[in-house]
Amino acid sequence: MCRRPDERGQALIEFALGLPLLIAAALLGLAVIDAATTQEAVETGARRGSLTLAASNVDVQAVAAANDTSWLRGQRLAAGFVPSDTALRCLGTPVTLTIGANGHLGFLLPFQRTWSATVTTVIEQEGPQRDRCAAAGP
Amino acid sequence: MTALAAVMLVAIAIFGAGAARLAFQDVERLEVEEASLEAAGAAAIRAGALIVGGASDFDVTAAMRDEANAVSAANITRGTWQAANATRTSSSDVLILVEVTVTVHYEGLAGPLDLSATRRAQVRRPPGP
């Protein structure tokens, strides 16, 4: 069936207007999936980091363990420790670990957001601080 | 236009399913790690108590294995637990060091996926007189 020239023009305009909307919706959909997966990943990463922290008492090792989460690989992680390992942390010291990431496709969202998770753990092995803890006494 | 929209929907669906699969795999890997750590801790405490109580070597090993099996299975998603292998050693300052390897098999969105994790726990010897 042949279309009249004005119908072909109408279809072209619809396509020209619709394509950017379609692409924007698709990118937004991908970004939302990425955001949800990143939130799940930072929670997993924070739990994994807290396990390592409890057994090592070393912040860098905890961040490396958190970064071992698949979806977080290649992302820049923001990690916070309260207190950090520059302070004295002995057996039983509670430490709060916060892991944050922006997601692989965070730049596609209309707002900047860091997806983060916080876990509190307790030091079970004093690790490199053993001598300092022994000197500090009970 | 309709075909393009369909292609994009399929691409988003594939991306979403892949992302969910990775997320599930990470959660399950963490679950195995946590279960092996829990099992090692529980087995070390149980075996340590038996050693201090003067139980025989055979009884200590059997109790340690039972504890490792029970605790790891209880901390893993039902139906996925395969085995827990526990071994023990000791030294001059460590009463017992237990190493537990937990093996699981997952099906579903994340699977088929075979995972294992090994963790250790120890009980130190009490200070001498």
Report the residue from B5, B26, B30 with minimal CB separation from A71: B26
Helix (H, G, I), strand (E, B) or coil at B100: strand
CA atoms of A138 and A98, how far apart (whole Å):
28
Length of chain A: 138
User: Would you call A37 an interface residue with chain B, using a CB distance cutoff of 8 Å?
Assistant: yes
Q: Which helix (H) or strand (E) holds A78?
A: strand A78-82
CA atoms of A61 and A65, how far apart (whole Å):
6
Chain B residues touching A26 at Cβ < 8 A? 8, 11-12
Q: How far is CA B52 from CA B9, B17, B60, B93, in A?
A: 64, 52, 10, 14
What percentage of chain A reaches a pLDDT higher than 90? 59
What residue has token string 């997952």?
Answer: B106
User: Would you call B17 an interface residue with chain A, using a CB distance cutoff of 8 Å?
Assistant: no
**Which residues 74-133 in chain A show a CB within 8 A of chain B?**
none
Q: How far is CA B20 from CA A33, A39, B50, in A?
A: 9, 12, 45
Distance from CA of B29 to the nearest CA of A (A): 9
| Number of domains forming the structure of chain B | 1
- Non-local (6+) Cβ contacts of A36 within 8 A are B19
Pick from A71, A56, A61, A58: which is nearest to A117 by CA?
A71
Report the residue from A15, A29, A51 with minimal CB separation from B33: A51
Q: Do B23 and A30 touch (CB under 8 A)?
A: no
Token digits of residue B127: 């200070």
Q: Do B26 and A69 touch (CB under 8 A)?
A: yes
- Interface size, chain A vs chain B, as Cβ–Cβ contacts under 8 Å: 52
Residue B128's pLDDT is 67
In a domain, B60, yes or no: yes
Predicted confidence pLDDT, tens digits, chain B (129 residues): 788 889 989 999 999 999 999 999 999 999 999 999 999 999 999 999 999 888 898 999 999 999 999 999 999 988 889 999 999 998 888 899 999 999 999 988 877 889 999 998 988 887 766
Domain range enclosing B10: 2-124
User: Would you call B33 an interface residue with chain A, using a CB distance cutoff of 8 Å?
Assistant: yes
Residues A62/A97, Cβ–Cβ less than 8 Å: yes
Chain A residues touching B2 at Cβ < 8 A? none
In a domain, B129, yes or no: no
The alpha-carbon radius of gyration of chain A (Å, integer) is 24
Give the bridge partners for B86, in sequence order: B100
Give the bridge partners for A118, in sequence order: A98
Residue A125's pLDDT is 87
Distance from CA of B102 to the nearest CA of A (A): 17
User: Would you call B1 an interface residue with chain A, using a CB distance cutoff of 8 Å?
Assistant: yes
The pTM of this model reads 0.82
List pLDDT tens digits, range A97-114: 999 999 999 898 888 889
Residues A57/A129, Cβ–Cβ less than 8 Å: yes
List pLDDT tens digits, range A69-88: 989 988 889 999 999 989 99
Report the residue from B15, B22, B30 with minimal CB separation from A48: B30
